[in-house]
Amino acid sequence: MSDCFFYRNLWWNKGEFSEKAKWEEITLPYVLAKGIDIEEYERRTEEFNIHGCWEWSDGKIIIYEFPSMPHEAGISAIVEEIMDACRPVKGTPSQIYSIGSTKTRDRNCEKEADASFRLKKLAVTAPNGSDKNDNPWPNLVVEVAYTETLDHVKEALKYWLSPDHAHDCIIVKIDSVPQGQVPVRMRAWHYCISDRRIRNNILARTMFEFGMQDDVGTVLNILPGQCIINIPLSCLYHNLKPPIQIPQNLPDPILLDFFLVQSAITDIFDIH
């Protein structure tokens, strides 16, 4: 095990992700380092280009997701649908910007969404911004979990939908499978701060299975238009910067078809 720890520490010390670390044997989330200040964390994540895998919380560096094709394909498919829908306002004052995994900070925690979106917004009062200064928060964030546990990604939901943070959050959980196999179970949730809370938890506005099987192995034949998340323009354009107005040439709501997300995740395994 001492060899395993040595190779695991290489990811933090040198940015080397080694198979000799036997990452498949660990349970996520995994504490990679302790006693690290936020500046050192930010320096190493930038130097090693580590995004969407590490998280800083109270001096701990925590691994909550490993790089994987299903994870990246799922994110890319959702981003593509959103940006395609917003294409008519590209280059106008109402443009929606994809700001990816831009770092955000809140009290003793720093997080990066898998994808995030916002328009031009007014600066907020420091230190309430997403950078602990005056930078506005995104209106929509997307979190896709593959090796990450569902419990952990739902814990992140509380961060994103805290007061004056993001307005909407989409969570996708793809159940992980052994190397080389095609994922079959996929779920999606949509949360909005406009919806009712129970014990500080926001109820999901939408939830569905969109994979090829459910939790008991029942085959699901998902069709185009069957599994849809609706993003109202009033949510996407929440707190817009005057004199910008909600555009009239976009569909309201914007429809995200998760048949396309499922196809993107499964098609990358079709290599024959």
Query: Nearest 5°: CA angle at 237, between 234 and 241?
Result: 130
Tell me the H-state helices in 48-140. Answer: 69-85
pLDDT of 149: 87
Backbone angles phi, psi at 262, to 5 degrees: -60, -45
pLDDT of 19: 84
Q: Fold for domain 69-267? A: tt1808, chain A (3.90.1570)
In the chain, what is the greatest distance between 2 CA atoms, to the nearest angstrom? Answer: 61
Domain ranges of the chain: 2-63, 69-267
Backbone angles phi, psi at 132, to 5 degrees: 60, 20
Those residues of the chain that have pLDDT short of 70 are 1, 108, 199-200, 271-272
The helix (H) or strand (E) run that includes residue 10 is helix 2-13
- 8 Å CB contact between 249 and 89: yes
Nearest-angstrom CA–CA distance, 235 and 211: 27
Residues in the chain: 272
The helix (H) or strand (E) run that includes residue 160 is helix 150-160
What pTM, to 2 d.p., does this model score? Answer: 0.88
Q: How many alpha carbons lie under 13 Å from residue 196 in its C-beta half-sphere? A: 1
